[in-house]
């Protein structure tokens, strides 16, 4: 059995390295007010004299309704009415669409995933029919494959036995594309019951082709619990059946993560997001004046070596090009990227210089705050050094650096203040010491963060703290 920690570690790595994918089932949409397949078909089953609670073959129920009515007009209407009314916030979708994942698959008809991606400022290409598979949307951030159709095209939605039987004729390339992704990417199945004939067919083909050489995928199973009034015999039977299902999925490389309540999925997804962004480090700081023992050369060398060492360890650096140290950070990162990282600049360095030329102070403050919020949302660790500026001929603490600290703290980021560099960095550590239990990863480093002024030692100390919180 795979542990939660193993899932978080392996899937986070897949996200960071660009080979993660998501497969969303009806269970993912339920928190938004949408129904599952069984609930969708319940009134249709009643119309033809069936009790949906007594039926296991839901495809057959949909087909029987189609046969009895002679058309699928009622089914189409049910899809339109049912999947246009979801309004509740869905944290699982928010997290999954925030993550830098490029590939999403779903059997759902609703538009929650595409809305979530757009809401997170990501350009999504939605593919619903086979003609769209050969077209590529420029500058896309993600691709969403809706292999069973969309609420806006209910007549083409896959729901009845006829639809599945004709799938190879109407949507054959979807199976081919999914088969390729299942071979080359690591999937996380969320809200999926593994009762879909299409997926069964594709998984069996991969199993035949690759045998033991399949990559691992992950899914969630709610552990069977004894229901009120249920006999011990029935409970044991359901548990045995679940255990057998879990072992059968392993044939296809799908590892089950058992949970007691569905709410646990949200906590796990949050941990995945935290783990993914811990690889991204924001370096905050500005220096108008250097005070002893720090001078321009010593400070620049430290910033250069720190950025270089972090990139060497495969971290990605985000910088706002802070006054006095920004160029050293960038040069250090670039030096390592061009030496050992095959010039993959975007994978290891994100430059976010602040907008210039904004005269109105209120507009400038609002824009800069929003800008800082966006930068810090995409990182897991924030390092603070120095932090001073000139105002009216005097050197003062840089309020922008302090605001970045406040934002990072509110977002629950890992905060590492290099107090020995003074100014805002020193003030941040003093503030942290008041609530040190909230920053337990710093407890053993308080004194050295305040006293280490040798650039090489400070680089080693900072990297040591960063590495300690990475996983």
pLDDT of the residue at 470: 80
Give the residue extent of every domain in the chain: 4-34+83-275, 278-469
Condensed to tens digits (0 to 9), the pLDDT of residues 380-414 reads: 999 999 999 998 889 999 999 999 999 999 998 99
Where b means 16+ CB within 10 Å and e means fewer, 313-331 reads: eebbbbbbebbbbbebbbe
Is the CA virtual torsion 110, 114, 116, 118 positive or negative?
negative
Q: Which CATH number fits domain 278-469: 2.60.40, 2.40.50, 3.40.50, 3.30.70?
A: 3.40.50
CA distance 381 to 268: 19
Query: Higher-confidence residue: 311 or 31?
Result: 311
Tokens 């020995």, residue located: 420
Asked whether the beta carbons of 109 and 79 are under 8 A apart, the reply is: yes
Asked whether the beta carbons of 33 and 115 are under 8 A apart, the reply is: no
**Single pTM value for the model:** 0.84
Query: Among the ranges 153-167, 245-259, 437-451, which has the highest mean pLDDT value?
Result: 437-451
Neighbours of 173 (CB within 10 A): 14
First CA to last CA distance, the chain: 20
Rounded average pLDDT over 273-284: 94
CA distance 457 to 139: 43
pLDDT of the residue at 85: 66
Condensed to tens digits (0 to 9), the pLDDT of residues 8-67 reads: 999 999 999 999 999 999 889 888 888 777 888 888 889 899 998 888 788 888 889 889
Q: Is the pLDDT of residue 140 over 90?
A: yes
Same fold for the pair 4-34+83-275 and 278-469: yes
CA distance 120 to 98: 6
Q: Is the pLDDT of residue 226 over 90?
A: no
High-pLDDT (> 70) share of the chain, %: 99
pLDDT of the residue at 211: 72
Contacts of the segment 453-458: beta carbons below 8 A, 24+ positions apart: 453/293, 453/294, 453/420, 455/298, 455/301, 455/302, 455/305, 456/305, 458/302, 458/306, 458/418, 458/420
Q: Is the pLDDT of residue 84 over 80?
A: no
Q: Is the pLDDT of residue 304 over 70?
A: yes
Neighbours of 459 (CB within 10 A): 22
Contacts of 406 (CB under 8 A, 6+ apart): none
Condensed to tens digits (0 to 9), the pLDDT of residues 412-436 reads: 899 999 999 999 999 999 999 999 9
Q: Is the pLDDT of residue 87 over 70?
A: no
Query: Higher-confidence residue: 444 or 1?
Result: 444
Q: Is the pLDDT of residue 209 over 70?
A: no
Rounded average pLDDT over 239-268: 91
Asked if CATH classification 3.40.50.1220 holds for the domain at 4-34+83-275, the reply, yes or no, is yes
Does residue 148 have an active-site annotation?
Answer: yes
In the set 65, 148, 217, 344, the catalytic residue is 148
Categorize the per-residue pLDDT at 86 as very low, low, confident or very high, splitting at 50, 70 and 90.
low
Q: Per residue, what are the HEC states of the chain?
A: CCCHHHHHHHHHHHHHHCCEEEEECHHHHHHHCCCCHHHHHHHHHHHCCCCHHHCCCHHHHHHHHHHHHCCCHHHHHHHHHHCCCCCCCCHHHHHHHHCCCCEEEECCCCCHHHHHHHHCCCCEEEECCHHHCCCCCCCCCEEEEECCCCCCCHHHCCCCHHHHHCHHHHCHHHHHHHHHHHHHCEEEEECCCCCCHHHHHHHHHHHHHHCCCCCCEEEEEECCCCCCCCCHHHHHHHHHHHHHHHHHHHHHCEEEEEECCCHHHHHHHHHHHHHHHCCEEEEECCCCCCCCCCCHHHHHHHHHHHHHHHHHCCCEEEECCCCCCHHHHHHHHHHHHHHHCCCCHHHHEEECCCCCCCCCHHHHHHHHHHHHHHHHHCCCEEEECCCEEEECCEEEECHHHHHHHHHHHHCCCEEEECHHHCHHHHHHHHHHHHCHHHHHHHHHHHHHHHHCCCHHHHHHHHHHHHHHHCC
Asked whether the beta carbons of 262 and 287 are under 8 A apart, the reply is: no
Between 161-170, 269-278, 369-378, the lowest mean confidence (pLDDT) is in 161-170
Average pLDDT, the chain: 91
Condensed to tens digits (0 to 9), the pLDDT of residues 449-464 reads: 999 999 999 999 999 9
Query: Higher-confidence residue: 274 or 309?
Result: 309
pLDDT of the residue at 55: 84
């Amino acid at each position: 059995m795979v542990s939660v920690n193993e899932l978080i570690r392996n899937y986070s790595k897949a996200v960071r390295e660009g080979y993660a994918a998501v497969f969303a089932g009806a269970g993912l949409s339920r928190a938004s007010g949408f129904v599952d397949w069984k609930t969708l078909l319940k009134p249709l089953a009643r119309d033809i004299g069936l009790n949906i609670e007594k039926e296991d073959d839901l495809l057959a129920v949909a087909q029987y309704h189609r046969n009895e009515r002679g058309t699928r007009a009622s089914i189409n209407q049910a899809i339109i009415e049912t999947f246009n009314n979801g309004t509740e916030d869905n944290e699982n979708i928010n997290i999954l669409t925030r993550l830098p994942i490029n590939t999403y698959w779903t059997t759902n008809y609703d538009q929650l995933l595409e809305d979530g991606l757009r809401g997170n400022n990501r350009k999504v290409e939605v593919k619903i029919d086979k003609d769209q598979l050969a077209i590529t949307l420029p500058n896309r951030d993600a691709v969403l494959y809706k292999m069973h159709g969309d609420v806006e095209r209910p007549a083409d939605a896959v729901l009845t036995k006829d639809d599945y039987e004709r799938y190879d004729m109407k949507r054959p390339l979807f199976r081919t594309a999914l088969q390729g992704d299942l071979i080359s990417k690591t999937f996380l199945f969320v809200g999926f019951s593994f009762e879909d004939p299409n997926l069964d067919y594709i998984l069996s083909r991969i199993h035949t082709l690759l045998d033991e050489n399949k990559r691992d995928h992950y899914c969630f199973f709610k552990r069977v619990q004894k229901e009120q009034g249920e006999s011990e015999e029935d409970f044991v039977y359901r548990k045995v059946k679940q255990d057998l299902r879990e072992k059968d999925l392993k044939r296809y490389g799908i590892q089950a993560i058992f949970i007691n309540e569905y709410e646990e999925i949200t906590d796990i997804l949050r941990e995945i997001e935290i783990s993914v962004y811990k690889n991204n480090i924001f370096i905050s700081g500005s220096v108008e004046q250097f005070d002893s023992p720090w001078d321009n050369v010593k400070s620049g060398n430290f910033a250069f070596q720190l950025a270089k060492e972090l990139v060497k360890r495969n971290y990605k650096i985000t910088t706002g090009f802070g006054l006095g140290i920004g160029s050293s950070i960038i040069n250090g990162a670039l030096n390592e990227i061009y030496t050992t990282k095959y010039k993959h600049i975007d994978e290891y360095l994100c430059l976010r210089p602040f907008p210039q030329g904004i005269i109105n102070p209120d507009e400038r403050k609002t824009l800069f705050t929003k800008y800082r919020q966006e930068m810090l949302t995409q990182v897991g660790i924030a390092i603070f050094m120095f932090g001073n500026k000139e105002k009216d001929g005097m050197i003062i603490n840089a309020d922008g650096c302090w605001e970045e600290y406040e934002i990072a703290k509110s977002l629950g980021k890992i905060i590492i203040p290099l107090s020995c560099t003074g100014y805002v960095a020193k003030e941040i550590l003093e503030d942290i010491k008041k609530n040190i239990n909230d920053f337990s990863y710093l407890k053993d480093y308080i004194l050295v963060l305040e006293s280490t002024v040798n650039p090489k030692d400070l680089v080693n100390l900072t990297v040591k703290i960063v590495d300690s919180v990475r996983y």
